[in-house]
Amino acid sequence: MYIVNNYSLAVALCVITMLCWGSWGNTQKMAKNWRFELFYWDYVIGILLFSLITAFTLGSIGDSGRPFIEDITQLDSNNMLSAFIGGVIFNASNILLTASMSISGMAVAFPLGVGLALVLGVFINYFSTPKGDPLLLFIGVILIIIAIIFNGIAASKNGANKGAKKGIWLSVAAGVLMSTFYRFVASAMDLENLENPASGMASPYTAFFIFAIGIFVSNFLFNSYIIKRPFAGKPLSYKDYFAGGIKLHLIGVLGGCIWALGTILSYIAAGKAGAAISYALGQGAPMIAAIWGVFVWREFKGCSRSISSLIAMMFLFFIIGLSLIVIAGI
């Protein structure tokens, strides 16, 4: 399988990860008049297809590690289940995040949902395995919490968005769930030894494929329920999905592929770039999404000066807080 052995390349891939994670939401915005419940099916299909493509290409070439077929056949059942559960939890969180984005926009959903996941993830990881400067770490967390509060206040005050409060609560629920999924996927992989992973453990490509299956299978339950009982708008049916044009479906698939590209690059680059670099760049995704939402999609267009000030403070506190968390771990 393909493994990154060059530090500069690994850092470049981490930057691409950040851009992918913060930008896939643009495809939902591009699919105008296409309900998020229908878009989300194509998004999930895109993730699954991309995981298959990378498994049989990057995951099966080169002399390092085990090729995909060999790797998946030797995988321990507990590790397989762990990666699958990670996919189920992620799907539950991400479908809520996507719902929030459809109601409140990218500039609200990502900083609130993914920012909260970052805060909770720091606490979970620190108390399970204490590492880094606790003072800098928790000052950084406090600043990000303040940034999240600023974002929430700005969203609730934005009179142009009548569904803001519902979107805020959906993003909060998404953030709580999102903070827990990664440990299930990580425990299935031998990230410390990608070239010769331990017997029974998965390569990043195999773990990501099983993770994608967890997303796909669970979507029959989660999305089928939401289609019948949506957070906003009238109930839908799968007839509505198949009535969509090929262009709409391809936009959703593209969104899934963009997110999947960022994820697989983060897995294969983390070993060489180092945890601090990959973590910092990956968690910069909410700011990328907020930039798209504020400056490209103009989600706060025509808002008052006080709301603009809150958004500016959100950017400032998030960036400083994230920087402190990274420095604390070096």
Q: Is the pLDDT of residue 37 over 60?
A: yes
- Higher pLDDT among residues 303 and 284, named by residue: 303
Helix (H), strand (E), coil (C) string for 201-220: CECHHHHHHHHHHHHHHHHH
pLDDT value for 163:
64
Domain limits, the chain:
7-329
CA 45 to chain centre: 16
What was the pLDDT predicted at 279? Answer: 61
Share of the chain above pLDDT 90, in %: 57
pLDDT greater at residue 70 or residue 8: 70
Residues 164-180, mean pLDDT to the nearest whole number: 90
Give the highest mean pLDDT range of 61-75, 238-252, 278-292, 315-329. Answer: 238-252
Residue 275 pLDDT greater than 70, yes or no: no
Q: 3-state secondary structure string, 8-48?
A: HHHHHHHHHHHHHHHHCHHHHHHCCCCCHHHHHHHHHHHHH
Reported pTM:
0.90
Span 4-23, average pLDDT: 88
For 80-136, the pLDDT digits (tens) are 999 999 999 999 999 999 999 998 889 889 999 988 988 887 777 677 667 678 898
pLDDT of residue 315: 94
Q: What pLDDT band is residue 280 in, cutting at 50, 70 and 90?
A: low
Residue 225: strand, helix, or coil: helix
Lowest-pLDDT range, 188-192, 210-214, 241-245, 311-315?
A: 188-192
Interval 40-68 mean pLDDT: 94
Cα angle for residues 47, 51, 52 (degrees, 5° grid): 120
